[in-house]
Amino acid sequence: MSEFRVVTAAEVEPSRLNDFLCGAYGPTKGEFLRRCGAWWHRGDENRLAVVRGDDIVGYCAVIPTRCRIDGETHPAVWWVDLIVLPEFRGRGLQHLLDERLRAWGDLKLGFPNPLAARLHLRHGWGVREDFRTLLLPLRPRRARIVHSAVGTKGVLLRLGAVALSPVAHLFRRRLSRYQPLSARVVEGPDPQALAAIFERHGPHAVATTARDAAFIRWRYLDAPYRAEITFYVAGPVGDPTLALISRSMSSPSGTIVRVLDLFGDLDDRSGLRDIVLLALRDATRAGATQVSVLAAFPQLRSFFRALGFLFGAKARFCWHSHSQDLLQLLWQKDCHFSYADSDNDAAD
């Protein structure tokens, strides 16, 4: 094992790291990490490479965060992008990375794929499978899930998209005329004002990301794709009670929109409906083919399904802590995480 070392991304030749990441994750994500990795992970010191001599043989990273659980804030990290080259697996390199991870605090969070979820369960992590990503097909025949599907599944989805198209056309016409009650777009958003919505209105009795001004400034205002982000609030002028943050981006199948974040008084169904319908109206007017949301909170899943988010997929959530209290709380509590958490909004 002495031939292997764990170093930070800042200690690796940039061109070597870029070649490794493009080979491991593909050119799109590799290029994104080259340009934006330091922002994405809040510093190159939060990105680790396993090296043997001058060769990179493994990589992982974290995204530091603060998790609010039942009203108490805990430092945490989202653990992402673990990869070890096949020829070096089974040689204890993951253990080396695990050792370094301990320096980043006790609470570790993630959104694992099915294989990683099984591995995490064997290593004492908590794993939940009750989160969902939901999708509203505004233009069903051009929705990415339909556009990219192949084989029998592709045929069935395309037939379903054709059948849905007349209904979707009427739905778009109705959405495009929507007049909001109190919801509005915020130009030049103030991170302190958005953070105040979270502090005053929550949600509080759940496990969620602490949305303070520093988080909002880093995650949204400093984002390299800031021009694609729109901010909405709803409620009284000067004292809004809800905030929604969306991202509109181009894809081969057309413009797609993600609800990156939604927080505030989620029990206010009238306000919630108002702010979401305004975001959907804007997506419709922009010609979006689809709108998607990560709905961890049970109330939000039923709410979005009632609005027409017909397609869904399972999203897994995992966590680890040496504190049995924290482990149990994350089993017991409803969670409210979103596309803005972890690397859910990474480049495809």
CATH for 177: 3.40.630.30
Whether residue 291 lies inside any domain: the answer is yes
**Whether 100 and 173 share a structural domain:** no
Give me 218's structure tokens: 């880093």
Whether residue 27 lies inside any domain: the answer is yes
Q: Residue 92 belongs to what domain range? A: 4-105
**Whether 198 and 64 share a structural domain:** no
Give me 58's structure tokens: 């493994």
- Kindly list the averaged pLDDT for each block of 10 residues, start to end, along the chain of length 348: 85 94 93 94 94 91 94 94 89 81 86 89 90 94 77 80 86 96 97 98 93 98 97 96 97 91 96 98 96 94 94 92 89 94 86
**Whether 148 and 227 share a structural domain:** yes
**Whether 101 and 159 share a structural domain:** no
What does the DSSP assignment read for 54-123?
Answer: TEEEEEEEEEEEEEEETTEEEEEEEEEEEEE-GGGTTSSHHHHHHHHHGGG-SEEEE---HHHHHHHHHT
Whether residue 334 lies inside any domain: the answer is no
**Whether 289 and 167 share a structural domain:** yes
Q: Which amino acid is at 60?
A: C
**Whether 252 and 305 share a structural domain:** yes
Q: Indicate the number of domains in the chain.
A: 2
**Whether 72 and 180 share a structural domain:** no
**Whether 167 and 266 share a structural domain:** yes
What is the distance, to the nearest Å, from the Cα of residue 127 to the centroid of all Cα atoms in its chain?
17
Whether residue 122 lies inside any domain: the answer is no
- The Cα–Cα gap between 60 and 162 comes to 42
* Alpha carbon separation from 78 to 141, 159, 160, 170, 343 (Å, rounded): 35, 39, 37, 41, 8
Could you give the angle at the alpha carbon of 345 between the alpha carbons of 138 and 126, nearest 5°? Answer: 110
The predicted model scores a pTM of: 0.93
- The Cα–Cα gap between 231 and 246 comes to 7
Whether residue 45 lies inside any domain: the answer is yes
**Whether 179 and 294 share a structural domain:** yes
Q: Are residues 86 and 59 in contact, defined by beta-carbon separation less than 8 angstroms?
A: no
